Structure 1
Amino acid sequence: MSISDPNRISFAQSFLCSAFAACFAEFCTIPLDTAKVRLQLQKKGSVGVDEDGGGMGLPKYRGLLGTVKTIAREEGVYALWKGIVPGLHRQCLYGGLRIALYDPVKTFLVGAAFVGEVPLYHMILAALLTGALAITIANPTDLVKVRLQAEGHLPSGVPKRYSGAMDAYSTILKHEGLGALWTGLGPNIARNAIINAAELASYDQVKQTILKIPGFMDNALTHLLAGLGAGLFAVFIGSPVDVVKSRMMGDPSYKNTFDCFLKTLFNEGFLAFYKGFLPNFGRVGAWNVIMFLTLEQAKGVFRG
């Protein structure tokens, strides 16, 4: 079943399916997201030691598997799921809203009487709007998730700032104010609107294209290929704003989005905006495959 299937279920059912699929995908892939955040927060010149005590001068985190291994060794396997509680909060709100609203907004843009394949630019516009709206509501959950994931990035001996998700929410409110929960909203809106457009519009488009190939049907294989395509588009387009968002949320030293962008560009070069690209694609690609496969099956249950 396609997200754009004309035989649509109700908004409430769609929200439940979307929230469940997004949360399930989040739980399965958050270790890769934690690795991605650590790589993005790692600044030029950061060093670490290898297992034998050597390797000074080398980056502490190197590559997807290397970063996962380092985190597990130094902080325990559980650390790979740091931020899972606000991550699930985020996916329930953000994932549920952005996906469930996509069809209604798309229908609004083309008109209820429209018949045929929705033009790509309408798909993109609908996904941009729903992504921006959903993340505006869910930004506090995203902030707490990144803050918790960044805890292990603190220098040795520095005490942890938060004991858990709820403590993080209350501590930020108490010491930084309500507005602080929307820190990084600008790049977060840009990042999530763009990635949402890349994911949902490309999933629709790739799936439509695959189904035109003789022998392909609306089944798990098609959903898997379309999900991988959506993940690739999302990471390639969204990586620069994703890096800026992670740095602003994880490091309060930046004055604003523009300051973070300029310091990253001038201090580390343009390629810094694609730090963690492979683990990001590994995570987003896997996330999209799991999410869309789960979503299609969940919607199928409601459709009977």
Structure 2
Amino acid sequence: MVAAGGANSDISLPGTFASSAFAACFAEICTIPLDTAKVRLQLQKSAASGDVISLPKYKGMLGTVSTIAKEEGLAALWKGIVPGLHRQCLFGGLRIGLYEPVKNLYVGKDYVGDVPLSKKILAGLTTGALGILVANPTDLVKVRLQAEGKLPPGAPRRYSGALNAYSTIVRQEGFGALWTGVGPNVARNAIINAAELASYDQVKQSILKIPGFTDNVLTHLLSGLGAGFFAVCIGSPVDVVKSRMMGDSAYKSTFDCFVKTLRNDGPLAFYKGFIPNFGRLGSWNVIMFLTLEQAKKFVRELEKPASN
């Protein structure tokens, strides 16, 4: 995905898109249990009973994962995997696959040398926003499925599956409801995408200038960890607002959700699920970038004859 130094990509756009979608889907499968834990923690609100605040059901990443597995079964940790894969094919393919072409557009196709960090950030913001505008319905369904916990005996589930969720939402709430939370979702994904791709690009570029480092797995691993850390630090508040808006239809707008969350749960609520979020995004980025680099290497070999 990221060519150290220069802006030009060495594989075709379809090859980049396919590599990006594959890498994003593989990372999604590996890390969605942590994402499910993150969503449950973010949707958990302070529950008061008289003057006493009841203890939260979910505590910490491992505690939440354990509670979900114990109460609902191990498979519940992969709730939302189908729309999650829909999302990664669309969003992952677009945001990562278009990053190099958009970066080239901003610096010019004949640009030589290290691309300025500002251009990398701008390219990440652009592709993140465009990608999620297309993929928002998949994100909505994924969050709705992940948010549903253990139900009382005999109580029907809200949705029987991903396809049923899409159709039910359209039937009951209207077609436009598929873009519920699109405001904070665009903000979140544009910011996180810029943090991930620009930081990976920048960290990798910096590491490769250190004597003894080459474009290998260790470099990809360190760059991926850096990308995940910056993404969580910057994107956590909008991620919480996005999850709450998608998981609970009581909020009237992004601002309403922000104000109610701040008033009812305090400023630290915007960093609820920070550890599972970092566990999720950190591991997701490492897996995705490692897979992406290998997938691009494979595609590069396939495309070699065509370029000779």
The answer to whether the superposition gives a TM-score over 0.5 is: yes
| Residue number among 19, 22, 32 corresponding to 1:20 in the alignment | 22
| Residue number among 41, 44, 47 corresponding to 1:42 in the alignment | 44
| Residue number among 139, 143, 149 corresponding to 1:142 in the alignment | 139
- Equivalent-residue separation in structure 2 for 1:36 and 1:46 (angstroms): 22
Which residue identity is paired with 2:44? Q
Which residue identity is paired with 1:125? L
| Residue number among 70, 77, 84 corresponding to 1:87 in the alignment | 84
Give the alignment's TM-score, normalised by structure 1: 0.94
- Equivalent-residue separation in structure 1 for 2:154 and 2:241 (angstroms): 27
- Equivalent-residue separation in structure 1 for 2:70 and 2:48 (angstroms): 18
For residues 241-297 of structure 1, the C-alpha deviation after alignment (integer angstroms, 9 at most, x for no partner) is 000000000000111110000000111111100000000000000000000000000
Aligned to 2:59: 62
After TM superposition, the structure 1 = structure 2 runs for residues 228-239 of structure 1, keeping only pairs within 5 Å, are 228-239=225-236
Whether the 8 Å contact between 1:248 and 1:257 is mirrored in structure 2 is yes
Whether the 8 Å contact between 2:128 and 2:190 is mirrored in structure 1 is yes
- Equivalent-residue separation in structure 2 for 1:206 and 1:112 (angstroms): 23
| Residue number among 206, 213, 218 corresponding to 2:210 in the alignment | 213
Give 1:44 deviation, angstroms: 1.1
| Aligned residue pair count | 296
Give 1:159 deviation, angstroms: 3.2
Aligned to 2:246: 249
| Residue number among 188, 191, 194 corresponding to 1:194 in the alignment | 191
Whether the 8 Å contact between 2:23 and 2:291 is mirrored in structure 1 is yes
1:2 paired with 2:2, answer: yes
Range moving further from structure 2, 6-15 or 150-159: 150-159
Whether the 8 Å contact between 1:130 and 1:193 is mirrored in structure 2 is yes
1:300 paired with 2:297, answer: yes
Aligned to 2:304: none
Whether the 8 Å contact between 2:34 and 2:276 is mirrored in structure 1 is yes
After TM superposition, the structure 1 = structure 2 runs for residues 51-130 of structure 1, keeping only pairs within 5 Å, are 57-130=54-127
Whether the 8 Å contact between 2:3 and 2:9 is mirrored in structure 1 is no
Aligned to 1:50: none
Secondary structure of the residue aligned to 1:160 is coil
Give 1:207 deviation, angstroms: 0.5
Question: Runs of 4 or more off by more than 2 Å in structure 1?
Answer: 1-7, 153-159
Q: How many percent of aligned residue pairs carry the same amino acid?
A: 74
Secondary structure of the residue aligned to 2:45 is coil
Whether the 8 Å contact between 1:223 and 1:292 is mirrored in structure 2 is yes
Give the alignment's TM-score, normalised by structure 2: 0.93
Secondary structure of the residue aligned to 1:152 is coil
Give 1:302 deviation, angstroms: 1.6
Secondary structure of the residue aligned to 1:68 is helix
For residues 205-230 of structure 1, the C-alpha deviation after alignment (integer angstroms, 9 at most, x for no partner) is 01111111111111000000000000
- Equivalent-residue separation in structure 1 for 2:138 and 2:13 (angstroms): 23
Secondary structure of the residue aligned to 1:214 is coil
| Residue number among 163, 168, 173 corresponding to 1:171 in the alignment | 168
Which residue identity is paired with 2:275? L
Q: CA RMSD in A?
A: 1.6
Give 1:7 deviation, angstroms: 4.8
Aligned to 1:33: 35
- Equivalent-residue separation in structure 2 for 1:241 and 1:137 (angstroms): 19
Secondary structure of the residue aligned to 2:183 is helix
- Equivalent-residue separation in structure 2 for 1:27 and 1:46 (angstroms): 36
After TM superposition, the structure 1 = structure 2 runs for residues 258-269 of structure 1, keeping only pairs within 5 Å, are 258-269=255-266
Whether the 8 Å contact between 2:2 and 2:9 is mirrored in structure 1 is no
Give 1:45 deviation, angstroms: 2.2
Which residue identity is paired with 1:28? C
Give 1:46 deviation, angstroms: 7.3
Structure 2 regions of 5+ residues with no counterpart? 302-308
Whether the 8 Å contact between 1:38 and 1:153 is mirrored in structure 2 is no
- Equivalent-residue separation in structure 1 for 2:48 and 2:265 (angstroms): 12
Aligned to 1:11: 13
Secondary structure of the residue aligned to 1:29 is helix
Which residue identity is paired with 1:223? H
From the superposition, tell whether residues 275 and 153 of structure 1 become closer, same or farther in structure 2 (CA, over 3 Å): farther
- Equivalent-residue separation in structure 1 for 2:129 and 2:237 (angstroms): 17
- Equivalent-residue separation in structure 1 for 2:159 and 2:3 (angstroms): 39
Structure 1 regions of 5+ residues with no counterpart? 48-55
